[in-house]
A and B are shown apart, each in its own frame.
Chain A
Amino acid sequence: EDQVTQSPEALRLQEGESSSLNCSYTVSGLRGLFWYRQDPGKGPEFLFTLYSAGEEKEKERLKATLTKKESFLHITAPKPEDSATYLCAVHPNDYKLSFGAGTTVTVRA
């Protein structure tokens, strides 16, 4: 059975304090790994897709990396507007999409 585990569940950061979120996965073949951002009361918003081990993607203060068993989302010098829940999802070799429970990030000014 496909499994996606995110850690930590919650992360409180001071503005400018860099940190990383983890997404570990077990799937029967991987077509892609996705990162989404979700603000309270809203639908998830797409951030990145990673397809193969060693791949990296960047967007502003966010950088996503992928290995054969996990992915990291690095937040560099975060700002309060980076506060959100970050979701990881994997697309195995079928039409489904499996999400992790998410990491809620709070950045204090």
Chain B
Amino acid sequence: EAQVTQNPRYLITVTGKKLTVTCSQNMNHEYMSWYRQDPGLGLRQIYYSMNVEVTDKGDVPEGYKVSRKEKRNFPLILESPSPNQTSLYFCASSWGVAKTSYEQYFGPGTRLTVT
């Protein structure tokens, strides 16, 4: 089954404790992206990756890091989480940015609480 998986689905942590949220897709997609979703603000793009070893900042990259060492995986790293990073996080993937191939497939989400 074609899917995007995220782990963990739920995470409660404390300020400053480094964490990683994993994302994996089994569709051989080139493009992957991370979003956060907050009430009233909608989905905001954190980072995206056009292919292996190629990443760039989205609209809200502060406090986050990413890496793309393999095509299927795109982990999101919070080096020193703060309470304002409490949010619902989604990973997504697509074939690429060419026309007809940009429809994104989203993971189930990771609900992060930082106390």
Chain A interface residues toward B at CB < 8 A: 31-32, 34, 41-46, 49, 51, 87, 89, 91, 95-102
A87 to B105, CA, bound (A): 14
Q: A87-B43, A96-B48, A102-B42 are in contact. Are A43 and B97 (CB under 8 A)?
A: no
Judge if B106 is at the interface, Cβ distance under 8 Å: yes
Would you call the interface of chain A mostly helix, strand, loop, or mixed? loop
Residues of A contacting B2 in the complex (Cβ-Cβ under 8 angstroms)? none
- Report B-chain residues with C-beta under 8 Å of the C-beta of A43: 4, 90, 92, 106-109
Contact between A42 and B109 (Cβ–Cβ < 8 Å)?
yes
The verdict on B41 contacting chain A, using a C-beta distance below 8 Å, is: yes
Nearest chain A CB to B61's CB is how many angstroms away? 11
Write the nearest CB–CB distance from A8 to chain B, whole angstroms. 14
Determine if B106 and A44 form an interchain contact, defined as CB atoms under 8 angstroms apart.
yes
Within 8 A of A (CB), among B39-85: 40-45, 48, 50, 56, 58-59
Query: Is B33 located at the chain interface by the 8 A CB criterion?
Result: yes
Q: A96 is contacted by which of B4, B59, B103, B106 (Cβ under 8 Å)?
A: B59
The residue that A49 contacts in the complex, of B50, B103, B106, with Cβ under 8 A, is B103
Rounded to whole Å, the gap between the CB of A50 and the closest CB of chain B is: 12
Q: Which of B43, B48, B50 contacts A99 (CB 8 A)?
A: B43
Given contacts A89-B43, A95-B31, 20 further A-B contacts (CB under 8 A): A31-B99, A41-B109, A42-B109, A43-B92, A43-B108, A44-B104, A46-B103, A49-B102, A49-B103, A87-B43, A91-B97, A91-B102, A96-B45, A96-B58, A97-B45, A97-B102, A99-B35, A99-B42, A99-B43, A102-B42
